[in-house]
Amino acid sequence: MKTITIRYPAAFPLPDMPDSRQVLAIGDFDGIHLGHREVIRRAVDTARRLRLPSAIMTFHPHPREVLGHDKYVSHLTPLPAKLEQFEKMGVDVTYIVQFDHAFSRIEPAQFVEEVLVPLGLDTVVVGFDFSFGHRGAGNPDLLCELAAGRFAVEVVRPYRLDGVKVSSTLVRDCLERGDVKDVEALLGRRYTLTGTVVQGDQRGRQIGFPTANIDPDGPFVVPCNGVYAVWVEFDGERHAGVMNIGMKPTFEGGAKRTIEAHLFDFSRMIYGKKVKLEFVAFLRPERKFPSVAELVAQIGRDAEEARGLLLGQTGNRAK
């Protein structure tokens, strides 16, 4: 998949831009949930039918982040994760529009005339709630009008799951509650984040449950504090584990939120490793225990439950 950056105002043709007409899906696509996937799938399928390149136009940073919406400082799929998903879906080209205050002020007609038309598009595919131009003044109906027959416009209806409209906001709300099973249903895959293993305070090792302390490598939305069953992947290996997100309230002075995973039947040092976390199930909220001994006993029960969920095992047998 080619990745091409557009900085407005852009000089066309862009380097590496396809020399044929294209089928383009437009959207921020944060999370790439089932609704987003339907828009992208429609573009890819139309492109294949017409024997044309399939393309996506997305925006970076998130428009709402630039416009001061604090909620969007973190992302369900930071840009590298988003590009990985696009490629898996068979997209040929991704255009990354650098979204800044200057770009936020262009009018809908300018966006069409100065950005879309020069790309030489056959078809544009958008979601039902797509907006564009200054203050989001443009909508799919206006896009059809401004296209003026120069490219076709396909509008994808809302995607509903059990009667509920799938949205990035809904995914975020579920993560805030730890409902990673619901998130899996909304995304069509398990929620993941990537990061680097860094050195922590080594309390886990001291109490018999060594952990990998993980520093996210992007502005991911991190699920709510609590204990989770997870898969941890690195160096082509996949390991089952139990993970805590939170402040470690049983210990005094825990002022920093941490992400720590205990891997089953594993003892190697992996500081500096790039890892991918895959959230499988929420086990319980984080809480303060009366003593370290009671915390250790609970971690043992958490590990037993996670092992059973992930490996179909109970007890301390190795995988």
Active site residues: 260
DSSP of 8-38: SSP-SSPTT--SS-EEEEES--TT--HHHHH
What's the N-to-C CA distance of the chain in angstroms? Answer: 37
Q: What is the chain's length?
A: 319
SS3 169: helix
Given a contact cutoff of 8 angstroms between Cβ atoms, the answer to whether 93 and 100 are in contact is no
State the residue for tokens 């290996």.
237
229 burial (CB, 10 Å; 0-12 / 13-18 / 19+) is buried
- Integer angstrom CA distances of residue 117 from 12, 143, 146: 10, 12, 10
For residue 189, give every residue at least 6 positions away whose Cβ sits within 8 Å of its Cβ, in sequence order, or none: none
Enter the DSSP assignment of 138. Answer: B
State the residue for tokens 């205050």.
101
